[in-house]
Each structure stands twice: as structure tokens, then as C-alpha cells.
Amino acid sequence: MSNSYDVVVIGAGPAGYVAAIRAAQLGLSTACIEKWVDQAGKTSLGGTCLNVGCIPSKALLDSSQKYLETRNDLAIHGIKVEGIAFDVSAMLDRKNKIVSQLTGGISGLFKANGVTLLPGTGMLKAGKKVVITSADGSSEEVSAGNVIIAAGSVPVDIPSAPVDGDLIIDSTGALELTEVPPRLGVIGAGVIGLELGSVWNRLGAEVVVLEALEEFLPAVDQQIAKDAAKTFKKQGLDIRLGTRVTGTEKSDGKVIVTYSNRDGEHQETFDKLVVAVGRKPQSSDLLAADCGVNLDERGFIFVNDFCETEVAGVYAVGDVVRGPMLAHKGSEEGVMVAERIAGKKAQLNYECIPSVVYTHPEIAWVGNTEQELKSDGVNYKSGVFPFAASGRAMAANDTGGMVKILADVETDRILGCHVIGPSAADLAQQAVIAMEFGASTEDLALTVFGHPTLSEAVHEAALAVDGHAIHIANRKPRGK
């Protein structure tokens, strides 16, 4: 086995494995280091996303949503179901099979593209040397013309609720529960907390979400966030804002949580407690003292707009660098870096990276929120179209939510798109494409959308920006 490569990638998550595959496609000798192992002790590719994050959570979200729809929503379609029940173990088996299929698929892609897999933990040293330590403690050193660090992230711990893997669990543990806890506490009302809380709420758990911030989903356009908060409340999620957990105690197989809010100190008892307060970069034991790569005060690796560190030929992508911790953001950074190493003038438009919350309804957005535009003093206009006026949404009995488009008053250029409702992730992606090409709302308004489709809501929202919507009464356009 060669100990020298054109490119060595540390980490085989969405950022790392994509970078490795693209580098190999470009004719560069490429190796990828990965420490993750499955229950059988075999190296498992795909990182957090495929193993214990994006993919398994979506599998359980879809399974639980199908159960809920079968129980509550089929009668309106004239479908009668009796004796409905669910099997958590079968749901977990399905989830695990999907994970196994996808992680195995990456292994096949590595072989097809000529990427060398190096099992173990990688540490960058001076001179673009990387030490790989195997699970048995043995080590080897490889050299690289270029190094791409894609080590990913790990859940954030909080001292007031130390994870024990039993009663107090992190997001990984919440994906492995073998039975529905009668009462589930979730610390954190972010994407992870809401998605995991939704899974177990649908299956019958009483879910209480404790969030320290006073504002719900502050990164989301607040018109959308307020609509989401009302919807989740109707679904049974008890979301308590301005609630700071100060301590936990385990007693008789339950967790007693102490928290404080504006009304003082309180206690709640749960059968399980999920800590979902965010993630932090996996940068410990990653960089030798002499490697020349530096971290900021939060543990992120310093990089420029092209993901270059201070050391020539050393790059960092994905969750270990600035920006949102999103698998697709990391993947595209990996492609950009691989292409730049190969001499191409690749770049990434960070203004057009979508975000999604895979609850039901889905929440998705790209670009600026209305509160950001107001804060920056931008003269903007907006258009909103509710799914309640969508024929396709009515036919599907899924009419909650809206599409909202924000645009510059002077240029009409689309500045942001925000969706809550059916297929929000896919609808927002249409706006991503439009924004990538610098489109105006007039461009969307002049585009022909199929009928009847959910996509028509994007078309109508674009029309509504200038007061030209057809299927709702128009309000006076903002900014006019």
C-alpha cells in the first residue's frame, strides 16, 4: 500500500467522502481516513449523517408520520382502518437496513472511483503528514500533496444534563429507543430537538421541549416560525421557551429535571431525556501542535471563502468550519476543494444554501429572512401564498402553511424564500435554483408551472410580490 497520495481526506462523512470521490474522478490519487465502525466492528462510511443523523432520523420521521396519517387522516379519503398498531422494532430494523444500504453504497463508490480507504483516526502533522491510529492502537503515517480535513461534528454536552446513554440520551440514543417512553423530555427546540420530539410524539409519547431562548426558531423567518409554533402546539408538542435547565437527578428509573424561567424554578419528571442543544466541531485530537492549522475560540478551523487554511495545501470543509452544519453545505465544499486542487476555478455561493426542518409540515428556507432585511435597512417587498388556496394541497388534505418570497424593491431580485407546508424542502429548492441564476420575481412569475401542483404556490407567491397573484386576494405590495 502506498504511503503517499495526491489527496488525503480525514473523515468520510458527507463532506469527506464526496471530496474524496470527486478528487479521484479528477485523476488524483486519493485516500480517505475514517474511524467510524458499525456494531460488527466494520468501518462504516457516511459519518454522522448516514449513520446516526440525517438518514436514520428521516426514516423514523417517515415511518411515524405514516402511522399518524393512517390513524387520523385516512377516513377523510374514504379509507377505513381498524386495529391499527405500530411495531417500534420493525421501524428500527427498516431504519438500520437503509443505513446499511447507503453506507455500503459509499464503499462501492470508493472502489469504483479508486479511492483508498484507510480505517482509523487521522491526525494532521507538520509537512502535510497524517498519522492514522487504528482501533487496536497501531499507527501508520502517510504523506499528501494536499490534505482535506472533514472530521465532522459531535453533540454538545451540557453540565446540567450529563448524557449517560440510558435515561439521559443524545440524538443518537433517541434514534435507538426500543419502546415509546410515556413522557419524553427534550432539551433544545432546534432542528434536532423538533424532529426527534415529533417522532416520539406521533407514536404516543407526551413530549415536553425545553428551550433556553425566548424566541422560537430565531434563524427562521418569524412569520414562518410563528405559524410553525401554532402547528406544533396543535400536534401536542409542549414547547416551553425561555426555559433553562439547571440540573437533573435520576430516581426510580426516571429523570427529574430542574429548570428556571421568568416565573422561577420548576421541576418535571420524565421517563427519558434527550439532550439536543446543538453540535460542535470534532476538532479534538485532530491537529498536532506543529501542523500550522489554527482553531477559533469555538473549536472551528480557520478557513477562507475557498476552505483554505493558513497552511498551503491544507483545506477544511463541512462541520469543522464556519457556516451552518448542513450535510449539503459540506458536500459542496468538498467538491469545490477537490476541483480547486485539480486546478479548476470552483467556488461556492454561500448565499444560496437551503436549510430544512423535516417535521410535518416541513420548514425550508434559503436566503434572507424578513427580520434580517429589516435589520439591514434593505428596501424589500414580499409575497405570500397559503397552501389553503392550493388545489393540489386540498386534494392531498394537507393545506397548512405558506410560501413566502422576499425581493429587492429596486431590482426585483429574489432575496429569500421561506416555506412551511407540504414538500417544503423541494419547493424551496426551486427558489435556490432561481437565486443561483440571479432571478427576479418577474422571472418566476413568467415561468409556466404545471397544474395542479404544489409548485404553483411558488409561482403565486412570486406574483403576489407585486400584487398580481391570481388565486388569492392581493394586498398592497410592501415597499411600493
* Domain ranges within the chain, ordered by starting residue: 4-155+280-348, 168-277, 353-465
- Cβ 152 vs Cβ 319: under 8 Å: yes
User: What average pLDDT does the chain have?
Assistant: 97
Give the pLDDT confidence score for residue 479 in this predicted structure: 61
Tens digit of pLDDT for each residue in 156-184?
999 999 999 999 999 999 999 999 999 99
DSSP string computed for 323-342: S---HHHHHHHHHHHHHHHT
Q: What angle do CA 468, 471, 474 make, to 5 degrees?
A: 45
Q: Which letter, b or e, does each residue of 151-166 get, where b requires 16 or more Cβ atoms within 10 Å of its Cβ?
A: bbbbbeebeebebeee
Angle of the 424-436 helix axis to the 456-465 helix axis, nearest 10: 50
User: What are the cell numbers at 42?
Assistant: 466494520
Give the pLDDT confidence score for residue 39 in this predicted structure: 84
In the CATH hierarchy, which top-level class contains the domain 353-465?
alpha beta
> 77, 360, 418, 451: which is the annotated catalytic residue?
451
Tens digit of pLDDT for each residue in 318-377?
999 999 999 999 999 999 999 999 999 999 999 999 999 999 999 999 999 999 999 999
Tens digit of pLDDT for each residue in 123-148?
999 999 999 999 899 999 999 999 99
Give the pLDDT confidence score for residue 203 in this predicted structure: 98
Contacts of 269 (CB under 8 A, 6+ apart): 183, 254, 255, 256, 257
Tens digit of pLDDT for each residue in 62-78?
999 999 999 999 999 99
- Cβ 392 vs Cβ 417: under 8 Å: no
Dihedral of alpha carbons 210, 214, 216, 218, sign: negative
Name the pTM for this structure.
Answer: 0.96
Q: What is the CATH number of domain 168-277?
A: 3.50.50.60
Whole-angstrom Cα distance, residue 117 to residue 95? 25
Q: Which residues does residue 206 pair with via DSSP β-bridges, in sequence order?
A: 183
Give the C-alpha distances (Å, rounded to integers) separating 257 from 210, 244, 254, 277.
Answer: 10, 10, 10, 15
Q: Do domains 4-155+280-348 and 168-277 have the same CATH topology?
A: yes
Q: What is the mean pLDDT of residues 214-233?
A: 98
Whole-angstrom Cα distance, residue 83 to residue 99? 30
Give catalytic status of residue 266 as yes or no. no
Give the pLDDT confidence score for residue 477 in this predicted structure: 72
Q: What is the mean pLDDT of residues 444-468?
A: 98
- The continuous run of DSSP H or E covering 209 comes out as strand 206-210
Q: Is the pLDDT of residue 2 over 70?
A: no
Give the C-alpha distances (Å, rounded to integers) separating 73 from 67, 84, 133, 184, 241.
Answer: 10, 13, 53, 25, 30
Q: What is the mean pLDDT of residues 215-236?
A: 98
* Residue 452: cis peptide before it, omega within 30 degrees of 0: yes
Q: What is the CATH number of domain 4-155+280-348?
A: 3.50.50.60
DSSP string computed for 246-293: EEEEEETTEEEEEEEETTEEEEEEESEEEE-S-EEE--TTTB-TTS--
- Cβ 130 vs Cβ 33: under 8 Å: yes
- Cβ 462 vs Cβ 441: under 8 Å: yes
Q: What is the mean pLDDT of residues 101-125?
A: 98
User: What are the cell numbers at 76?
Assistant: 377523510
Give the pLDDT confidence score for residue 407 in this predicted structure: 98
